[in-house]
């Protein structure tokens, strides 16, 4: 396939470009950052185009190059470092422009990177808890913040696109993305102490496993628009999930069936079933029992 990958200079984009290249696909990579003069900033064989995705003309120009799939990763990845209006405008308009161009140019497949934050409890201004755990795609949606709202509306843009055209869309909701360079800083404190609470109930996703899921989504024959969580199957710290949930939240969060004792607070069963995705990495590959980086990682 010839695939357009947005956000290619970001942490998820880089590993995704590599995964698509390794699978033999031809990649047009795009980001808002300038191309290197010697074109040595992208892996060999990758075409790079600088583009601003809030500009509809840029999106049309990218998709007009003729692609079999659009993999839309680019976004401001949290509501915390920019003004609310900037986060909302950037993330929603980029998704709108790209899906609009993909529909008009008859692109068959769109992979939309959404977020675990869509149900709303991650960046809420008025805190609330998940209704049940592990959280899955049936969980009620009540986003408050501009980032989760834009991701939620982005999923609705996918619904609208499949309703008005033959495009097939998959929205993936990754958990907190970990790369070899940030496992220790991000997850170390939680590994050391389960009382370091995170609204995503000790879940995370390895960046390479996420790239595998994105690749499978782009190659998938699924029709319509499907939404799927992507989280590593174990929890940060590898603890007994039922026990830590009760210990830290009492009866406030309903405990549902677990497929393993050290289960994640987010279920990716749907992605495993519909995409045949098999996550292969764990925080244990990078961190010791004290949450310190292993010498080899």
Ligand X SMILES: NC(=O)c1ccc[n+]([C@@H]2O[C@H](COP(=O)([O-])OP(=O)(O)OC[C@H]3O[C@@H](n4cnc5c(N)ncnc54)[C@H](O)[C@@H]3O)[C@@H](O)[C@H]2O)c1
73 binds ligand X (CB under 6 A): yes
Residues of span 157-176 touching ligand X by CB under 6 A: 174, 176
Q: Is 65 within 8 Å of 28 (Cβ atoms)? A: yes
Of the residues 10, 43, 189, 238, which one makes contact with ligand X according to CB under 6 A: 10
Nearest approach in angstroms of CB 129 to ligand X is 19
Of the residues 177, 191, 201, 217, which one makes contact with ligand X according to CB under 6 A: 177
Cα–Cα distance between 183 and 283 in angstroms, integer?
7
Residue 75 or 245 with smaller CB distance to ligand X: 75
Nearest to 174 by CA among 122, 123, 117, 215: 117
Residues of span 137-156 touching ligand X by CB under 6 A: none
Of all residues in the shown chain, the one whose CB is closest to ligand X is 10
Of the residues 4, 12, 169, 211, which one makes contact with ligand X according to CB under 6 A: 12
Of the residues 23, 32, 47, 180, which one makes contact with ligand X according to CB under 6 A: 32
54 binds ligand X (CB under 6 A): yes
71 binds ligand X (CB under 6 A): no
90 binds ligand X (CB under 6 A): yes
Q: Convert the chain into a string of H (helix), E (strand) and C (coil).
A: CEEEEECCCCHHHHHHHHHHHHCCCEEEEEECCCCCCCCCCCCCCCEEEECCCCCHHHHHHHHCCCCCEEEECCCCCCCCCCCHHHHHHHHHHHHHHHHHHHHHCCCCEEEEECCCCCCCCCCCCCCCCCCEECECCCCCCCCCCHHHHHHHHHHHHHHHHHHHCCCEEEEEEECCEECCCCHHHHHHHHHHCCCCCCCCCCCCEEHHHHHHHHHHHHHCCCCCEEEEEECCCECCCCCCHHHHHHHHHCCCCEECCCCCCCECCECCHHHHHHHCCCCCCCHHHCECCCCCECCCC
Residue 94 or 221 with smaller CB distance to ligand X: 94
Contact string 103-132 vs ligand X (x = CB under 6 A): ----------x-xx----------------
Stretch that binds ligand X, among 49-57, 212-220, 250-258, 269-277 (CB under 6 A): 49-57
Residue 116 or 137 with smaller CB distance to ligand X: 116
Beta-bridge partners for 226: 170
Residue 13 or 188 with smaller CB distance to ligand X: 13
Q: Is 51 within 8 Å of 62 (Cβ atoms)? A: yes
Nearest approach in angstroms of CB 281 to ligand X is 15
Residue 94 or 133 with smaller CB distance to ligand X: 94
226 binds ligand X (CB under 6 A): no
Stretch that binds ligand X, among 4-12, 80-88, 158-166, 285-293 (CB under 6 A): 4-12
Q: Which residues of this chain interact with ligand X, rule CB under 6 A?
A: 7, 9-13, 31-33, 52-54, 73-77, 90, 94, 113, 115-116, 174, 176-177
């Amino acid at each position: 396939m010839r695939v357009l990958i947005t956000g290619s200079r970001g942490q998820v984009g880089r590993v995704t470009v590599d995964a698509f290249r390794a699978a033999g696909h031809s990649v047009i990579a795009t980001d808002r950052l300038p191309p290197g003069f010697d074109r040595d900033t992208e892996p060999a064989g990758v075409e790079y185009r600088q583009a601003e995705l809030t500009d509809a003309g840029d999106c049309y120009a990218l998709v007009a190059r003729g692609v079999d799939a659009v993999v839309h990763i680019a976004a401001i990845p949290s509501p915390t470092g920019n003004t609310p209006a900037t986060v909302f405008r950037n993330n929603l308009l980029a998704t709108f422009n790209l899906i609009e161009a993909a529909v008009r140019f008859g692109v068959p497949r769109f992979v939309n990177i959404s977020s675990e934050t869509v149900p709303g409890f991650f960046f809420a201004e008025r805190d609330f808890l998940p209704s049940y755990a592990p959280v899955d795609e049936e969980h009620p949606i009540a986003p408050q913040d501009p980032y989760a709202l834009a991701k939620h509306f982005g999923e609705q843009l996918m619904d609208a696109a499949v309703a008005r055209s033959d495009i097939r869309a998959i929205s993936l909701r990754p958990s907190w993305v970990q790369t070899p360079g940030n496992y220790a800083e991000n997850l170390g404190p939680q590994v050391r102490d389960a009382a370091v609470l995170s609204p995503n109930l000790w879940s995370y996703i390895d960046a390479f496993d996420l790239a595998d899921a994105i690749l499978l989504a782009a190659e998938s024959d699924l029709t319509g628009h499907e939404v799927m969580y992507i989280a590593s199957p174990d929890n940060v710290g590898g603890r007994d999930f039922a026990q830590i949930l009760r210990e830290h939240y009492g009866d406030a969060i309903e405990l549902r069936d677990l497929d393993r004792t050290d289960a994640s607070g987010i279920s990716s069963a749907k992605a495993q079933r519909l995409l045949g995705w098999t996550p292969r990495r764990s925080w244990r590959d990078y961190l010791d029992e004290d949450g310190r980086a292993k010498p080899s990682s």
